[in-house]
């Protein structure tokens, strides 16, 4: 776990340059990295959003909780066939009238993930948006 700092500082995060990750940040979040996607806005408190995100993630196949601290979780989802790990770190942040997520999803094996992290996070955010309205 030493190669994956935790909790992550999303403001100073330097994402992997290889095409094997997906970074989501709240709109207007001051970060050194450019997000791949802007987080939807949720009309719930950050602590509620993070609990709901974690619950939704843990309902997915081959997802387990690696570690958590107040305000941030790290999960791993393993590929079905070879059990390769993809790590997902998420933090809920307060916004005007609600909250949004910062999410860094990344593969640790191989050069490219052929879009797996993007598809995963987009699907999870769509499901979360449907749950929370």
Domains defined for the chain, CATH in brackets: 21-132 (3.30.310.80)
Give residue 2's pLDDT band: very low, low, confident or very high (50, 70, 90). very low
0.85 exceeded by pTM? yes
- The mean pLDDT value of the chain amounts to 96
- Model confidence over 29-71: pLDDT tens digits? 999 999 999 999 999 999 999 999 999 999 999 999 999 999 9
Q: Average pLDDT, stretch 22-28?
A: 98
Q: For the residues of 44-80, what is the DSSP string, one character each?
A: S-HHHHHHHHHHHHHTSTTEEEEEEETTEEEEEEE-T
């Amino acid at each position: 776990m030493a190669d994956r700092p935790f909790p992550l500082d999303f403001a100073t995060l330097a994402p992997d340059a290889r095409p094997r990750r997906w970074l989501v940040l709240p709109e207007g979040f001051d970060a050194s990295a450019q997000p791949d996607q802007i987080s939807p806005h949720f009309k719930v408190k950050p602590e509620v959003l993070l609990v709901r995100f974690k619950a939704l993630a843990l309902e997915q196949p081959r997802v387990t909780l690696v570690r958590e601290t107040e305000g941030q979780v790290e999960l791993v989802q393993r590929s079905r066939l070879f059990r390769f790990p993809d790590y997902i770190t998420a933090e809920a942040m307060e916004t005007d009238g609600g909250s949004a997520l910062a999410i860094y999803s990344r593969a640790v094996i191989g050069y490219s993930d052929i879009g797996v992290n993007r598809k995963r996070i987009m699907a999870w955010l769509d499901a979360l948006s449907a749950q929370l309205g």
